[in-house]
Amino acid sequence: MKNFQTDIHVWGRVWMLSALAVMVAVPVAISIRFGAWPGFMPVFRGLLAVAPVYWTVTAIEVLTYAPMLGSGGTYLAFVTGNITNLKAPAAISAMQTASVKPGTEEGEILSTIAIAVTSIVTTLILASGVLLFSFLAPVLQNPVLLPAFKMILPALFGALGVVFIARNWKISVAPLVAMIILFICVPALATAVSILVPVSALIAIAGARILYNRGLV
């Protein structure tokens, strides 16, 4: 397992840096092709408006998801993206089905496999969707189906939530109450899932710690 972890960290860093290089290469290639360079200050001002938010979210997500997904799963998830909506639920579901706890060697392997499979399946589905988009567009844009697509994410997290809430409902009280109050006070935040899921996870951890210290869980 020690050699496995060493290889995971080596190749994980290689692929994360490679993915970063590819992301940066796209705007650079466009600028070279069209001879249009925005300049340092416009880019800096644009980054100044949004980068601090992403830095904060990234730090929170790493601290939240890394213990849950393991080293391999974390590298894979952060390179391929869509952690909150797909990768984390898939890893949790796989570990739950196998009755394996996060943070164990078995959990590490299962999480990595689950995230790898979802990445491959997602890539195949997206490739098929691009090829078949002209045929599928009328179906996907059908007014009858649009409400169903809007409920996919709540249905996914609702199904996962019921399982974990049923295990220990006391821990779920703090994040549920906090998020309900937040959404009532600021309804616009209902779309900020990527930010609020890690925040609610931290609230759940803090609440669980308080309950544990008091001997309630």
Q: Each residue of 139-175: pLDDT tens digit? A: 777 788 778 777 777 777 777 777 778 778 888 889 8
pLDDT at 42: 82
For 103, residues 6+ apart whose C-beta sits below 8 A from its C-beta are: 67, 68, 70
Average pLDDT of the residues in 29-43: 85
Average pLDDT of the residues in 87-112: 88
Does 116 score more than 90 pLDDT?
Answer: yes
Helices 152-167, 169-185: inter-axial angle, 10-degree rounding = 140
Q: How many CB atoms lie under 10 A from the CB of residue 103?
A: 14
Reported as a single tens digit per residue, the pLDDT across 46-92 is 777 677 667 777 777 788 888 888 888 899 998 888 887 788 888 98
pLDDT at 18: 92
Rounded Cα–Cα distance for residues 43 and 39 (Å): 7
37, 19, 42, 17: which is closest to 27 by C-alpha?
A: 37
